[in-house]
A and B are shown apart, each in its own frame.
Chain A
Amino acid sequence: MNRFLGKFLLFIVTCVIMLWTFLPLYNMIITSFKTWEDVWVASYSPQRFTIEPYITVITQSYFRVEKFWLWLWNSFRIAVEVMILGVFIGLLAGYAISKKSKIYGRVKSLVANVSLLSYIFPVSLLSIPIFVLMYTYKLLNTDWAVSLPLAALVSPFTAWMAAEYFDSIPKEVEEAAEIDGATAFQRFRLILLPLTTPAIIALSVYSFLYSWNNYLYPLLMLSDDDHFVLPIVMGFFLSTDDSPWNIFMATGILYSLPPLVLYYMFRRYMISGLFKGAVKV
């Protein structure tokens, strides 16, 4: 009896939590299909179903989304820059941490600790000094002001993920090439890298999304509306009085679609190698 009661309680509690998880998202979806007048009446489904808000966003015919495609392109471009840098730094550092590289133990543990420390550091506490740094070097309102710090902040995670992959490659693969006289760099480029293709894809997705979803750093670094990324603009929606919430919600949904798809394709890679040791019982 007791056994079933426990299971049943767990079921009920989880259902309530899941319901609460869906509620805001459900509200977001129904609001995005409402007409402007219907937004001002709370309801459980759109009174008059319309896709007009989406058309308004796509055709940029409302002034708060007047440069939708440009801002989307900015988000995309910065995310790609973060992706390239994050994967580059991550792969190299991951190689240095992994058992494959032959460097002094002290240097190796230094690199490992450096990545760990920057992974756990609360990133928002670094934002003001980094802003000052970018201001000093006159990089504000350029892509670099956002993509360089974000790449630096994402690289510890990618480094641990890469290290885990390098460790999983059997060392015999490399040994044959070593006997034939290949240098460490040749072995890295010609043997290890092709074998880590799945890891490289996962690292790219993670870095891309890290930048795509970030709000604080673009908000600090970009102040000119030709350089805005979409999250900043959506942040501004929140402080307006005349609020066409159906258009705002449509923008939010359009912006959320790429990360949703990517997360679901790659969700098993989203736990870093960092936790692998702790996860094992």
Chain B
Amino acid sequence: MKKIAINFGLIASLPIIFSFSLFIIYPVVNSIVLSTSKPEVVLELFKSTKYWEAFRNLLIFLYIAVPIKFLMALLISGFLITYRNNIFGKIVGITYLLPWAIPTVASALAFRWSLDYDFGLFNKILTDLGLPRIPFLLSYWPAMFSIILFHIWKWTPMWTLLIYAGRQSIPEELYESSQIDGSSIYQRFFYITMPLIRKLFLICLLLSLIWSTGEFEAIWLVTMAGPAGSTHTITTLGFQQVFQYANLMKGVSIYISVLPLVSVLMLILIVMFRR
């Protein structure tokens, strides 16, 4: 009786162990083996300016996109909490998830066309406001800006949803009693909300850092790493090496080179999750 029970639990865990070994462990191990089998390729990689440019772009992307995403998630979730019994709160509550629900490629189409220099809606609005046109996709900084803009647009809703869920579970009485004592909206945010959602916030922040490191679509679809390959990050550079220059070894090494950084973040995250 007892024995069968033990067995079924074990059998049930087999499929995920199998898929994990085949599609997570094997690729990682294989990449490490492949890139260490020819160390000169890796050394050559670390000497190339193209690689360090991509690495710099990745850092710029992370340092700008992640904080803005979370600032906006805090603002929108704050709005949803403050105005929850109000028609505005309900409208925003229904619509803020739109960018997340739409397939990335479809929204990338929308962005690409809106960012167009001559015919895009963004430049149309700028000129109507009497401002100069911005060559969004035609030079380095505007192109980086467009990538970040798209990434933020796409992923803010998801983090808003999570942080909103966290803030909803804070007992109402805490706010009421502090309001009677005459606290301001800022004080309530910094002394009640933030300390209480600290753990959730840190988990989301770390997870967002990890996933943004692997961001591929925002770069490939919005600028295609252009103009002139200046907005490559690690993921697109590796992709290009393999599929346009048929240089498998180099591509794999590029991907593996960020693994140490990502693994440190993942370790911290796992410890935080499991507590």
The contact of B98 among A25, A42, A103, by CB within 8 Å, is A25
Q: Provide the A102-137 mask, 1 if CB < 8 A to any CB of B, else 0.
A: 111001100101111110111111111111110000
Q: How many residues of B contact A (CB 8 A)?
A: 108
CB-based contact B123/A42 at 8 Å: yes
Nearest B residue to A97, CB-CB: B13
B4 touches A183 (CB 8 A): yes
B214 CB–A CB distance under 8 Å = yes
Contact between B103 and A121, CB atoms less than 8 A apart: no
Q: Does A203 contact B (CB under 8 A)?
A: no
A260: interface (CB < 8 Å): yes
Contact A28/B214 with A107-B13, A275-B200, A281-B170 known, Cβ cut-off 8 Å: no
B37 interface residue per 8 A CB criterion: no
- In the complex, what distance in Å separates the CA atom of A20 from the CA atom of B157? 13
Of the residues B75, B113, B123, B217, contact of A28 by C-beta under 8 Å: B113
Which residue of the partner chain B has the closest CB to A159? B16
Is there contact, CB below 8 Å, between A3 and B184? yes
Q: Which residues of A lie under 8 Å from residue B203 when comparing CB positions?
A: 275, 278
Q: Measured between C-beta atoms, what is the minimum distance from B266 to chain A in Å?
A: 6
B264 at the interface (CB under 8 A from A): no
Min CB–CB distance B224 → chain A (angstroms):
7
Contact sample, A vs B, 13 pairs, CB 8 Å cutoff: A6-B185, A14-B76, A26-B121, A31-B113, A96-B12, A101-B12, A103-B13, A116-B270, A120-B270, A128-B252, A239-B224, A260-B101, A267-B97
Which residues of A pack against B, CB within 8 Å? 2-3, 6-7, 10-11, 13-14, 17-18, 20-28, 31, 39-44, 88-90, 92-93, 95-96, 101-104, 107-108, 111, 113-118, 120-133, 148-149, 151-153, 155-156, 159, 181, 183-185, 188, 212-213, 215-216, 220, 231, 234-235, 237-239, 245, 248-249, 252-253, 255-256, 259-260, 263-264, 267, 270-271, 274-275, 277-281
Contact surface of B with A, Cβ cutoff 8 Å: 1-2, 4-17, 19-20, 22-24, 26-28, 30-31, 34, 72, 75-76, 78-79, 82-83, 88, 92, 94-114, 118-124, 153, 161-162, 165-166, 169-171, 184-186, 196-197, 199-200, 203, 207, 210-211, 213-217, 220-221, 224, 235, 238-239, 242-243, 248, 251-252, 255, 258-259, 262, 266, 269-270, 273-274
The 8 closest A-B pairs by CB, nearest first: A122-B214, A129-B27, A6-B185, A101-B9, A103-B9, A252-B106, A263-B101, A96-B13
